[in-house]
Amino acid sequence: MLALVIITGLLAFASSKPCDTEGSNSELLLTLNRNLVRSLESPEGLPNPSVHLALRLSHHHNQAKETDHLNKLKNELHNDIQTSLSNGQAVTGTMALYSLALKSSCYDLNTISFTANDKSETLLTHLKRQMEQEKEHIAFSHRPLTNYYQYSLGVLALCVSGIRVNNHVSHKLIKAAENEQFIHGETESIDTNAMAGMALQCVKNSGSYAHNSEELDLTLNKIKQKLLASRRSDGHIGNEFSTGLAVQALLAMGSEVGDCSVSIEAMRTAARSNTYHNPMAISQTLPALQRKTYLSVKTLDCLNEDDTLVLEPVNPAVVLPSETKVKVLVEVVTASGAAAAHSVDVPKGSSLLEALELLERKNVGFTFQKESSLWGPFLSAVNGEQARQSDRRYWHLSSDGTALTEGVGDFKINATQKITIKNTSY
């Protein structure tokens, strides 16, 4: 009862505050913005379209850096998507983010093309075809070719780019929301609900959905209420890393200021404690803190933009390994349920990835492989067993029974703990 009173009081306080993300917090926003620009200098992985999107939605710009990154997207990321298309791989999510990134720079999407089956067609034509394939896959297997997060991104990217989304494509997303199919593993996916909310709101705003407008409205309200019901007592929606997209969705769906103030303050608090050090996390959080959403891309005109964001020279910090060692117990659970246990002592403050690398070097029968993603490295194989997206499986990570909200490269080992790596279906 006391907790309810406290939460109610917090909500009442939030509703009396404006959903103002600037003023005294302007320096925090500039710091996040600078950190995002600095991330462009990292030589690791492909250029990130989500980072570009966030930079373009920001109030402050470094035009030279953004132009350079746009060129990298048009070369390196473009070539990677082309390779995937040539190999017959589904690239709905990456292609959608690429479209949004280009659109955010006011780039003419009709000048971007890909080749498949010896036929060259525009980016948006390929994205429409990807969405048709996703829709058909849902029809006979009751799930998308990729997942509903990528499916939602595809709907959003087409809609924001002024392309009329096939009613049947939108209807599949509405039905998935109605039937609560936005699941990752065994839990509700806040990220997917948020992305679906923004996609369907864009469809509603466009006036192109002629199937059943009342059904669309009911679905949008259901998603909105689900996001609000997932807000923790500290203001985060789901967890610290899903709050940015969730707030974007609430703002896009026209929430009152009281629906976002507590969550925005929670993100500010997390940002001040350096929770958002991963560029992908910043890219989803910064727009929400500036009251922008991915729907805002539709109205960008790229005229008379700021160009005052200057990066001060920084001396790279030298982090010496801690002399304090902590024990990490690593349990690997295969798809069949068989378990194997290992242990390794690592310097306090090591990342989980560093701990696994130390364990592998001990030659105790533990091996792993990793792949890159926009969020950083993720485990693809452990002890010779694959967990493929094509098989609807992934390696679920937990620490002392609690699911990790960060990836292997970001999660830090600061105390003795048991890490469980489990081959899980979704």
Residues 293-307: tens digit of each pLDDT: 999 999 999 999 999
For residues 285-289, give the mean pLDDT.
97
The predicted structure's pLDDT at residue 187: 86
CATH topology of domain 26-35+45-298: Glycosyltransferase (1.50.10)
Angle between the N-to-C axes of helices 213-229 and 167-178, in degrees from 0 to 180, rounded to the nearest 10:
40
Q: Which of 280, 243, 228 is closest to 93 using CA atoms?
A: 280
> Residues comprising the binding site for cyanocob(III)alamin?
146-150, 191, 239, 284, 395-397, 404, 426
Among 8-12, 23-27, 40-44, 60-64, the range scoring the smallest mean pLDDT is 8-12
Among 189-193, 206-210, 251-255, the range scoring the smallest mean pLDDT is 206-210
Question: How confident is the model over 180-197, as pLDDT tens digits?
Answer: 999 887 789 999 999 999
Distance, CA of 362 to CA of 184 (rounded, Å): 33
34 neighbors 53 (Cβ within 8 angstroms):
no
325 neighbors 348 (Cβ within 8 angstroms):
yes
Which CATH code of 2.170.130.30, 1.10.357.140, 1.10.340.30, 3.30.56.10 fits the domain covering 325-425?
2.170.130.30
8 pLDDT higher than 70: no
147 pLDDT higher than 80: yes
419 pLDDT higher than 70: yes
3 pLDDT higher than 70: no
The predicted structure's pLDDT at residue 22: 46
Return the top range by mean pLDDT from 40-54, 147-161, 390-404.
Answer: 147-161
> Residues comprising the binding site?
146-150, 191, 239, 284, 395-397, 404, 426
For residues 90-98, give the mean pLDDT.
97
The two tokens of residue 181 are 């199919």
102 neighbors 112 (Cβ within 8 angstroms):
yes
Q: Which of 373, 358, 362, 296 is closest to 326 using CA atoms?
A: 358
pTM: 0.90
150 neighbors 89 (Cβ within 8 angstroms):
no
Boundaries of every domain in the chain = 26-35+45-298, 325-425
The predicted structure's pLDDT at residue 319: 66
18 pLDDT higher than 70: no
Q: Which of 224, 267, 289, 281 is closest to 405 using CA atoms?
A: 281
Between 137 and 2, the more confident residue is 137
Q: How confident is the model at residue 363 (pLDDT cuts 50, 70, 90)?
A: confident
182 neighbors 196 (Cβ within 8 angstroms):
yes
13 pLDDT higher than 70: no
291 pLDDT higher than 70: yes
359 pLDDT higher than 90: yes
Q: How confident is the model at residue 230 (pLDDT cuts 50, 70, 90)?
A: very high
Distance, CA of 261 to CA of 264 (rounded, Å): 5
Tell me if domain 26-35+45-298 and domain 325-425 are identical in fold: no
Bridging pattern class, strands 385-386 and 378-382: antiparallel
203 neighbors 170 (Cβ within 8 angstroms):
yes
Distance, CA of 238 to CA of 215 (rounded, Å): 26
The predicted structure's pLDDT at residue 24: 54
CA pseudo-torsion sign 318, 313, 49, 308:
positive
The predicted structure's pLDDT at residue 229: 95
Burial of 290 (0-12, 13-18, 19+ CB in 10 A): buried
The predicted structure's pLDDT at residue 233: 96
Mean pLDDT of the chain: 91
Among 80-89, 139-148, 200-209, 383-392, the range scoring the smallest mean pLDDT is 383-392
Distance, CA of 239 to CA of 160 (rounded, Å): 27
Return the top range by mean pLDDT from 11-15, 340-344, 390-394.
Answer: 340-344
Distance, CA of 426 to CA of 325 (rounded, Å): 36
DSSP letter (8 states) at residue 254? T
The predicted structure's pLDDT at residue 101: 98
CA pseudo-torsion sign 136, 141, 142, 145:
negative
